[in-house]
Amino acid sequence: MVGRRADHRLRSKRKGSVFVVDALTSEILNGVGSFATLAIVALGLGIVFGLMGVINLAHGEFVMVGAYVAFMVQEAGRSHWLAIPIAAIVLLLLGGMIELALIRRIYQRPELTILATFGLSIVLRQLAELIFTKDFRSVVNPVPGATPALGVLYPTYRFVLIAVAVTVVVVTLLTFTRSQFGLTVQAIVADRELAESAGIRTSVVNSLAFGIGAATAGVAGALVAPLGAVEPQIGLTYLPGAFLVVIVGGVSRLWGVVLGAGIVAAVQTGAIHFADAVLAQIVSLLLAVVVLQFGRSSRSGLVA
Amino acid sequence: MIVIALLAAACGRGDNNDSDATTADIDSGSAGTSQDVEAAETDDDSDASTGPSDEPVRIGVLFSNSGPAGVFGPPVSNIGQLIEEDLNEAGGINGRPVEVVFADDASDPEVGRQAMEQLLDSDNVDVVLGTHSSATRAAAKPLAEAANVPYIYAALYEGGECSAVMFNTGEVPSQQLAPAIPWVMQETAGQKWFLLGNDYQWPRRSFELAREYIESIGGEVVGEEYVPLGTQDFASVSQQIASSGADLLFPALVGGDAVAFETQAVDFGIGQDTIARLANIYEENVLAAMGPEITAGMYVTLGYFKEVESEANMAFVERYIETFGEEAAPHATFSSHIYDAALLYASAANDAGTTETGAVIAALEGRSITTPTGDLTITDSRHLLQPIHIAEVQADGSQKIVQSFPAVEPDETCDPS
């Protein structure tokens, strides 16, 4: 959706009116950046909810842990690019262990997953506070400055963020929809007992799926770390947006996360462009209300 | 269907969730309290328990220790210990030991109201010192009024507060902005201002006044924008500023929002070298998180910097570092104002010979004390005549005071009776 619009603007740019087009191009890039961030943060939430029925209120804390991984990699004198795969691995392991220790015991009981992951989010925040204190930490932007592209000067790191986030989202979605592993997961979603009797080790697959959900959040955290302060509470600011995306896009199909992120990013960026950031927040919350109120019939498969 | 409802409930949780952080922080506050009891006991020993009462005077501190303004919290937590040490060493308040009790508002007015309730009802404090947002002040004030407990709001704010139980000792715009705006315009030769703030009453009212000060000396406001508290993405706002033609920026952003904005804005070409900042809430802990590459050259106007050159202040800062270590969050304007408010209260209660609210409030009116901050006097408007400084951030990230106004009168009126 956003991509189509970008094409349109590019075409009109060649006809002239450079100033207006430039402002719009930048705004569209802002929208794409916002889309990429929302999509990668919401992806893990969508995976564990859509496939495992777990409402993970600790998902924001996975983002936070990813950001601290980026901070620690920097403190160890290593490149930020290294931080992204390391964050993925750390969160894959952490997510897998959490599934083993906690989530595994409460499948099929959404209300318990809410309580358990809510508790988990507190534990993770307090642990971060114990280890790192509440002080704001900063991760240095590895590519400061701006790059000329599409007729505008745009921050280089945002291009990187968009590229990495989109790649991670697409690869993860393809893994879950097109690979043997994805088929296995879908078999478990469709009928756990049947899958088990067909020889699928559901417990391993579940751990892995939850771990992958956490890993995408970890990558998101490492990616956003250079764009603000790293502190124990940053997860809380990312979680509402991620839930908004999941509500708007639905999870009956995993690609819904992409759709939801696109709609939310377009609405928010549009509202900021034509009005202001305060209105943008109001509009995106209204969007959730509208979807919840009128989108029910089209989303009845969601509870599967 | 159930799942959708749960999701909706879960989505609204961003706000509620903060309350658990509060509980945790109150716990750590009470950990501090147990230290205080020790301090109080030592005090009793030296007094050979001749005091009129061993029941401690409880000073409640309502502060932000989590959420967007949480970055201001750690030095305030630290200063509680120094308040206890200093007041108890001086014989306590009316011979009674002093104990500081903390409550965290999590940067959220609703949590702040509950935290105030806890201080008043469970902790039975004799006074509340506040360093938190104006939104929390509005939520907490009615409780202090109903309980008839003195409430000294000690954070910089937009001005205009007036209540029978309140004193407001933080910097107000007529102190921070009225002197600093003309000074910065002269220093940088800039004329066109962009005002960027979080969306609540402090930035909004501050910008109203800033606009008056700017326009009264021929400057121009070319843009005014607000973003919700907790904003992560400042791309669009940065672009608006970049294309506004502004050469000066007054950012009234709190904590994490300030760090996110500044780290992102620089890549949109609106670093300090293109648009000069005059900030009035970027204290040392926030500046440190942005890093010197971003902050070098910024102007900050506040009532206290740890760089204030007086013997009393340098000794105090040295003691702070000795007590809490080199790595501790540095003493800055918010902790300094809480320390001063505690000394103002102690001085008033000692002179009144009681902690009874009416007597203490009468004794606070017009009171003058000298602290490491400088000479302070409570005005008729129940605000604070205090020194104001402008610091310029240096290339290494340190702050250098480039202009000081020794006693700036708050342009406020208040007649609570």
Contact (CB, 8 A) for B185 and B208: no
* Type and span of the H or E element at A146: strand A146-149
Contacts of B63 in chain A (CB under 8 A): none
Query: How many Å lie between the alpha carbon of A94 and the closest alpha carbon of chain B?
Result: 23
Under 8 Å CB pairs connecting chains A and B tally to 168
Q: Which pLDDT score, from 0 to 100, does residue B22 have?
A: 40
When pLDDT is averaged across residues A83-94 and rounded to a whole number, the result is 97
Q: Which pLDDT score, from 0 to 100, does residue A4 have?
A: 39
d(C-alpha A190, C-alpha B18), whole Å:
37
Whether the per-residue pLDDT at B2 is higher than 90: the answer is no
Show the tokens assigned to B377: 């006097």
When pLDDT is averaged across residues B184-190 and rounded to a whole number, the result is 95
When pLDDT is averaged across residues A280-285 and rounded to a whole number, the result is 87
d(C-alpha B194, C-alpha B225), whole Å:
8
d(C-alpha B334, C-alpha B294), whole Å:
23
- With a pLDDT cut of 90, the percent of chain A lying above it is 55
Q: Which of B1, B24, B199 sits opposite A278 (nearest CB)?
A: B199
* Selected residue of B11, B26, B224, B238 to mutate for chain A interface (largest A Cβ count, 10 A): B11
Domain that holds residue B398: 173-305+391-408
Query: What one-character DSSP code corresponds to residue A143?
Result: S
Residue B14 domain flag: no
B401 confidence band (pLDDT: 50, 70, 90): very high
Q: What is the pLDDT of residues B291-332, one digit of tens each?
A: 999 999 999 999 999 999 999 999 999 999 999 999 899 999
Q: Which pLDDT score, from 0 to 100, does residue B44 have?
A: 41
Q: What is the pLDDT of residues B330-355, one digit of tens each?
A: 999 999 999 999 999 999 999 999 99
Q: Do both B136 and B237 map to the same domain?
A: no
For chain A, which domains are there?
2-303 (1.10.3470)
When pLDDT is averaged across residues B8-15 and rounded to a whole number, the result is 40
When pLDDT is averaged across residues A39-53 and rounded to a whole number, the result is 91
Residue B417 domain flag: no
Q: Which pLDDT score, from 0 to 100, does residue A252 have?
A: 77
Q: How many CB atoms lie within 10 A of CB B45?
A: 9
Domain count, chain B: 2
Show the tokens assigned to B160: 């205009």
Q: Do both B64 and B147 map to the same domain?
A: yes
Show the tokens assigned to A294: 């009128």
Q: Do both B221 and B288 map to the same domain?
A: yes
Q: Which pLDDT score, from 0 to 100, does residue A26 have?
A: 86
Q: Do both B159 and B184 map to the same domain?
A: no
Whether the per-residue pLDDT at B24 is higher than 70: the answer is no
Q: Which pLDDT score, from 0 to 100, does residue A17 have?
A: 36
pLDDT, chain B, mean:
88
Q: How many CB atoms lie within 10 A of CB B8?
A: 14
Query: How many Å lie between the alpha carbon of B260 and the closest alpha carbon of chain A?
Result: 4
Q: Do both B326 and B205 map to the same domain?
A: no
> Rounded to the nearest 5°, which phi and psi values hold at A294?
-110, -10
HEC sequence for chain B: CHHHHHHHHHHCHHHHCHHHHHHHHHHHHHHHHHHHHHHHHHHHHHHCCCCCCCCCEEEEEEECCCCCCHHHHHHHHHHHHHHHHHHHHCCCECCECEEEEEEECCCCHHHHHHHHHHHHHHCCCCEEEEECCHHHHHHHHHHHHHHCCCEEECCCCCCCCCCCCEEECCCCHHHHHHHHHHHHHHHHCCCEEEEEEECCHHHHHHHHHHHHHHHHCCCEEEEEEEECCCCCCCHHHHHHHHCCCCCEEEEECCCHHHHHHHHHHHHHCCCCCCCEEEECCCCHHHHHHHCHHHHCCCEEEECCCCCCCCHHHHHHHHHHHHHHCCCCCCCCHHHHHHHHHHHHHHHHHHHHCCCCHHHHHHHHCCCEEEECCEEEEECCCCCEEEEEEEEEECCCCCEEEEEEEEEECCCCCCCCC
Whether the per-residue pLDDT at A286 is higher than 50: the answer is yes
- With a pLDDT cut of 70, the percent of chain A lying above it is 89
Q: What is the pLDDT of residues B216-228, one digit of tens each?
A: 999 999 999 999 9
d(C-alpha B3, C-alpha B14), whole Å:
18
Residue B10 domain flag: no
Q: Which pLDDT score, from 0 to 100, does residue B248 have?
A: 96
- List the beta bridge partners of residue A271: none
Q: Do both B223 and B275 map to the same domain?
A: yes
What's the sign of the alpha-carbon dihedral A110, A112, A115, A117? negative
Query: How many Å lie between the alpha carbon of B156 and the closest alpha carbon of chain A?
Result: 21
Whether the per-residue pLDDT at B365 is higher than 80: the answer is yes
Residue B12 domain flag: no
Q: Do both B181 and B153 map to the same domain?
A: no
Non-local CB neighbours of A170 within 8 Å, separated by 6+ positions: none
Q: What is the pLDDT of residues B114-158, one digit of tens each?
A: 999 999 999 999 999 999 999 999 999 999 999 999 999 999 999
Compare all CA atoms of chain B with the CA of A27 and give the residue at the minimum distance.
Answer: B236
Q: What is the pLDDT of residues A137-174, one digit of tens each?
A: 999 999 998 888 888 889 999 999 999 999 999 999 99
pTM: 0.83
Q: Which of A114, A231, A296 sits opposite B6 (nearest CB)?
A: A114
Contact (CB, 8 A) for B370 and B384: no
Q: Do both B73 and B115 map to the same domain?
A: yes
Q: Which of A138, A238, A276 sits opposite B291 (nearest CB)?
A: A138
Dihedral Cα B315, B318, B319, B325, nearest 10 deg:
180
- Mark yes or no for CB contact B269/A288 under 8 Å: no
Say what the ipTM of the complex is. Answer: 0.83
Query: How many Å lie between the alpha carbon of B149 and the closest alpha carbon of chain A?
Result: 31
Q: What is the pLDDT of residues A241-255, one digit of tens each?
A: 999 999 898 877 888
Identify which of B110, B132, B125, B119 has the alpha carbon closest to the alpha carbon of residue B19: B110
d(C-alpha B375, C-alpha B386), whole Å:
7
d(C-alpha A1, C-alpha A228), whole Å:
28
Q: Which of A110, A138, A229 sits opposite B3 (nearest CB)?
A: A110
Q: What is the pLDDT of residues A258-270, one digit of tens each?
A: 999 999 999 988 8
Non-local CB neighbours of B246 within 8 Å, separated by 6+ positions: B192, B193, B194, B222, B223, B275
Q: Which pLDDT score, from 0 to 100, does residue A15 have?
A: 37
Q: What is the pLDDT of residues A187-220, one digit of tens each?
A: 887 888 898 898 888 889 989 999 999 999 999 9
Q: Do both B75 and B165 map to the same domain?
A: yes
Residue B122 domain flag: yes
Q: Do both B146 and B214 map to the same domain?
A: no
Q: What is the pLDDT of residues B35-89, one digit of tens each?
A: 444 444 444 444 434 445 689 999 999 999 988 888 899 999 999 999 999 999 9
Q: Do both B181 and B301 map to the same domain?
A: yes
When pLDDT is averaged across residues B1-14 and rounded to a whole number, the result is 40
Choose from A40-44, A175-179, B43-47 the range with maximum mean pLDDT: A40-44
Contacts of A55 in chain B (CB under 8 A): 3, 6-7, 10
Compare all CA atoms of chain B with the CA of A246 and give the residue at the minimum distance.
Answer: B7
Q: Which pLDDT score, from 0 to 100, does residue B6 have?
A: 42
Question: Could you tell me the CATH number of the domain that includes residue B182?
Answer: 3.40.50.2300
- Mark yes or no for CB contact A27/B14 under 8 Å: no
Whether the per-residue pLDDT at A13 is higher than 50: the answer is no
Q: What is the pLDDT of residues B242-274, one digit of tens each?
A: 989 999 999 999 989 999 999 999 999 898 889
Q: Do both B292 and B399 map to the same domain?
A: yes
The residue with greater pLDDT, A117 or A189, is: A117
Contacts of A238 in chain B (CB under 8 A): 232
* Selected residue of A156, A231, A257, A264 to mutate for chain B interface (largest B Cβ count, 10 A): A231
* Selected residue of A80, A236, A246 to mutate for chain B interface (largest B Cβ count, 10 A): A236
d(C-alpha A130, C-alpha A232), whole Å:
9
Q: Report the amino acid identity of residue A204.
A: V
HEC sequence for A232-255: CCHHHHHHHHHHHHHHHHCCCCCC
Contacts of B6 in chain A (CB under 8 A): 55, 110-111, 114
Residue B296 domain flag: yes
Query: How many Å lie between the alpha carbon of A17 and the closest alpha carbon of chain B?
Result: 16
- Mark yes or no for CB contact B71/A136 under 8 Å: yes
The residue with greater pLDDT, B409 or A51, is: B409
| B67–A contact, CB cutoff 8 A | yes
Q: Which pLDDT score, from 0 to 100, does residue A162 have?
A: 96
